[in-house]
Amino acid sequence: MSIHQHADSKKVYANVLLAYLWLTSLVSTALALFAPEAIQLFATQQYLGASNVVGLLTFSYVMIGLTYIASIGPAIVKTSTPTGVAITFSAGLNIILNFLLIPSMGMMGAAIATLISQSIIPIYLFWRSQQMYPIPYRFQPAIAILGLSALLIWAGTHWSFDNLLLGIGFKIALLVLFVPAIFIFRIVTLK
């Protein structure tokens, strides 16, 4: 917020979005991929099934962080109404989705409800923010980073190996794919 009057502040805000998504998507992907091994190491077998929801829940937290970036515009123009509207709607949606999804899907339903309701907030706030205080966010690379993460999590959880070390090596190789993404999506340029 302290830089909002600088000439290049909008460019900084736009770059923060991609840097934030790259870093948090990398961490979320790592947590989702290695959740089964971490649970086996630190918990009992009873909790192994919880590894299925780790990716959804970590991305719920990514969405919470995006809320802070998306609310820059309303904060600069000194209005909290869009944030209040988004959070209120999200809370109501979360309750409704929990009632609809938990009976049939259990913890997966709760995780899906949480992710959907937390995603609504930054989506709405980015939309409203662009009307109030336009910032040149690069939404296509942002969505591509989230898509890359989802694809890597899917690959890491749907391909299994009988050999533990081979499986861990495969998951590490998937995570390494985030390195070229930082250049492909021009989060960092070599100029």
Task: Tell the residue number behind the tokens 């109404």, with chain if given.
Answer: 81
Report the C-alpha gap between 117 and 114 in whole angstroms.
Answer: 5
Q: What is the pLDDT of residues 18-62, one digit of tens each?
A: 999 999 999 999 999 999 989 988 888 888 889 999 999 999 999
Indicate yes or no: pTM above 0.75: yes
Residue % of the chain over a pLDDT of 70: 97
Helix H or strand E encompassing 178: helix 178-184
Q: What is the pLDDT of residues 140-187, one digit of tens each?
A: 999 999 999 999 999 998 887 888 889 899 999 999 998 888 888 777
- Tell how far CA 39 is from the center of its chain: 21
Report the C-alpha gap between 189 and 9 in whole angstroms.
Answer: 19
